Structure 1
């Protein structure tokens, strides 16, 4: 084989093996990277994806936020959270609207839920009380 073909194949294999994208969470079988609890709650799970494509799963958004206190944030490519209104659907955490309501328990007790639409968060807020937050506000609340 010609050296240029070998080089092309090596580069192609490297790019395929390190795709930077979220991965489906295997609910009921995978543990939280932060607290080791088995992830079963499809409304509150979260996921970090590094720039190298490594995926870390969390049973609750608050576990992801707590993990971020100890991480080099510059290595992170994606902050994914489950949409409360669409259980099991990961959404961009930086664009989500967050609700902390003591009437909606989350796995680790922070009462933190995420929504893809601000109107959906507002609707759940009106029914359950609490307070709505942006990504920037949640980062400050969790000291990230």
Structure 2
């Protein structure tokens, strides 16, 4: 009976350890997977989660996009911080992106993500730049 309980605990641990979900970013303590810079900017951070549940954190959307260009690992989740809600990860595929030289990002690409297109448009109106969809952003980083 004891080996059966141990086996169940091991299986349960494996299942819980391999869940595919976002993980909170430990700002100020964790480094970017791509450039190793400490992640401190809550408006520009990003995260990838593999199909096996492994999490990769990035200090900027541009680092995440460069990683995707270099890495063929199968990803389950593509997440970016919402510029208007610092620290809140949103689905990168549904976000609207703004490249504006008036809004610096950690790695100098001037790239910000917005969960709402209207918010991105308002920020564009105030700062200038160019709006991109996820598909257009991926083309920029091919």
TM-score, length basis structure 2: 0.94
Q: Does 1:140 align with 2:139?
A: yes
Correspondence for 2:16:
16
Unaligned 5+ segments in structure 2 are none
Call closer, same or farther: CA 1:4–1:135 in 2, change over 3 Å: same
Distance 2:41 2:3 in 1: 50
Unaligned 5+ segments in structure 1 are none
Distance 2:62 2:133 in 1: 14
CA drift of 1:7 comes to 5.1
Distance 1:129 1:33 in 2: 30
Q: Does 1:126 align with 2:125?
A: yes
Correspondence for 1:41:
41
Distance 1:12 1:38 in 2: 33
CA drift of 1:13 comes to 2.2
CA drift of 1:104 comes to 0.4
Distance 1:11 1:29 in 2: 31
Deviations 1:13-46 (CA, angstroms, capped at 9, x unpaired): 2211111111111111111111111111100000
The runs of at least 4 aligned residues of structure 1 exceeding 6 Å deviation read: none
Correspondence for 2:111:
112
Tell me the SS of whatever aligns to 1:94.
helix
